[in-house]
Amino acid sequence: MEAIQTMPTAICVPVNFDNFGTPFAYDMVMHAMKQSAFRTAPLLVLFLLLLQGESRAQWILQGGLIDAQIHRGIELTYNMNYSEADRIFDSVISAAPAHPSGYFYKAMVNFWRAVTNTDNTGYDEAYRKELDLCIERADKLLDTNDMDLAGLFYKGAALGMRARIFAIRPNWQDAVGLLLGDAKEGVKYLNKLEEKLPGNGDIIFGRGLYNYYVEAVKEDNPGLSPVIGFFATGNKRVGLEMLDYAAKNATYSKTEAMYELMKINYIYEKDFTRSYNFARILTNTYPNNSAFLHYLAFCQVSLGLVAAYDSTYRVILYRSKERREGYTIKQAREAMYFIGQAFLLRPGGNIDSALYYLYNCNLRSYQLTPNEVTWWIAKSELLMGEAYDVAGDRKNALFYYNRVMQMKDVSGAHADAQRYIATPYRR
């Protein structure tokens, strides 16, 4: 991957963030589509590869120009060209109004609007309506032929996808209801589809999501585990193998599989190197996508790649300053924190610049959560104390360390502040 170019310092001046737009929050996607029949199969990947050739040959749901348009619209969606993607899928609907595909991919555009700006709920109702229309068109195909490939695929996929909006905006009562309702119903259609297309990458994608996330959700929510476990079981290892397979072999969901692998490896598996590999592929392919760029930067932070994350966060800050879609005040706040941290950590890094970015991060944090001490507030004040120590200004350093001690303890900030109260920070 080509290195992201560092933006000139001049573009990083503070901007007025009043009425800046809706904040960005990080999504935790749970997609329950399919209980795997391969949970204990040790030769799963080999088996799937043997089936791959036949299943791919059968998997053009709409031929010719419409299929090409669908792929073009999908690419535009991942690169956050949402308006153009909408136009593409509107043309698909106009060309084939009785087919479910156009409605499904219109819903996908709105799903990615939510992924890249989860506080913007303005498209949620359209998302649900488009999935309902997709299901209605799929039902009509299945009324004519109960083994219609497009009907089975889009009915199962739409039922599963209907749960994803609630995973982005966590409401566990709704999510569990959809897991045990829509997802269970969707499984029936994907099971039937698998009879016709064994080893198909797009079906395996849904299975992989289900296998992994049903167990991850139970681990994250022990109180819900007995309820979910009564109806559904999964297997994380098999889920990862299935998602790996889909990332290489799916026709329509290859990028979705890589996105999920990037998230899973970062959030759950803590395999930052593997997550970073997927993040680099995705940001190189779709350089405008703010969610992909966010994970790229966080992986670089977690791997200690100071120069790399400083460069990436300057791109994010510049795009936030330009108010591009999906780049909001929360991402600007995040970028300012890590750019400031980079100045502090680098030998010879300019301490005035570190304080400048950390102060602006702290200011935006108080604007976003005036009544709550967040990670960003506590950590930015701790780093400002460290920066003053490096500058030899012990009075101001102690001022910030003592402020941190008066806050609730966030991610071990108290222990660091106590240590630097006793002994000045040195880089």
Q: What is the DSSP letter of 147?
A: T
pLDDT of res. 10: 28
Contacts of 126 (CB under 8 A, 6+ apart): 106, 110
Q: Which domains does the chain have, with CATH numbers?
A: 9-22+306-422 (1.25.40.10), 44-281 (1.25.40)
Asked whether the predicted pLDDT for residue 187 surpasses 80, the reply is no
For the chain, the straight-line distance linking the first and the last C-alpha, in angstroms and rounded, comes to 31
Q: What is the DSSP letter of 9?
A: G
Q: Sorting pLDDT into bands at 50, 70 and 90, what band is 96?
A: very high
Segment 287-318, tens digit of pLDDT: 999 999 999 999 999 999 999 999 999 999 99
Distance (Å, rounded) from C-alpha 228 to C-alpha 221?
10
Segment 137-152, tens digit of pLDDT: 999 999 999 999 999 9
Maximum mean pLDDT: which of 116-130, 168-182, 312-326: 312-326
Residues 178 and 163 sit within 8 Å (Cβ to Cβ)? yes
Q: Sorting pLDDT into bands at 50, 70 and 90, what band is 213?
A: confident
Q: For residues 404 and 184, which has the higher predicted lDDT (pLDDT)?
A: 404
The tokens for 210 are 């289900």
Asked whether the predicted pLDDT for residue 39 surpasses 50, the reply is no
Segment 257-284, tens digit of pLDDT: 999 999 999 999 999 999 999 999 999 9
Closest CA to 79 of 257, 324, 298, 265: 324
Q: For residues 222 and 232, which has the higher predicted lDDT (pLDDT)?
A: 222
pLDDT of res. 4: 38
Segment 354-374, tens digit of pLDDT: 999 999 999 999 999 999 999
251: amino acid identity, one letter: T
Q: Sorting pLDDT into bands at 50, 70 and 90, what band is 11?
A: very low
Q: Please give the full DSSP string across 177-213, using - where no structure is assigned.
A: HHHHTHHHHHHHHHHHHHHHSTT-HHHHHHHHHHHHH
pLDDT of res. 43: 41
Distance (Å, rounded) from C-alpha 305 to C-alpha 285?
21
Q: At what angle do helices 394-406 and 375-390 cross, to 10 degrees?
A: 160
pLDDT of res. 47: 40
Asked whether the predicted pLDDT for residue 3 surpasses 70, the reply is no
Q: Sorting pLDDT into bands at 50, 70 and 90, what band is 102?
A: very high
Distance (Å, rounded) from C-alpha 353 to C-alpha 336?
10
Segment 155-185, tens digit of pLDDT: 988 988 887 776 676 665 565 666 566 766 7
Closest CA to 318 of 115, 42, 78, 15: 15
CA 253, 258, 262, 267: dihedral to nearest 10 degrees?
A: 30
CA 26, 28, 31, 35: dihedral to nearest 10 degrees?
A: 160
Asked whether the predicted pLDDT for residue 9 surpasses 60, the reply is no
Asked whether the predicted pLDDT for residue 98 surpasses 60, the reply is yes
Q: What is the mean pLDDT of residues 212-229?
A: 75
Residues 165 and 118 sit within 8 Å (Cβ to Cβ)? no
Closest CA to 388 of 376, 403, 375: 403
Closest CA to 123 of 135, 106, 138, 136: 106
Whole-number mean pLDDT of the chain? 83
Asked whether the predicted pLDDT for residue 21 surpasses 80, the reply is no
Residues 154 and 104 sit within 8 Å (Cβ to Cβ)? yes
Asked whether the predicted pLDDT for residue 58 surpasses 60, the reply is no
Asked whether the predicted pLDDT for residue 22 surpasses 60, the reply is no
Handedness of CA 133, 151, 198, 195 (dihedral sign): positive
Q: At what angle do helices 290-302 and 254-267 cross, to 10 degrees?
A: 30
The tokens for 391 are 């500058």
Closest CA to 420 of 375, 376, 381: 381
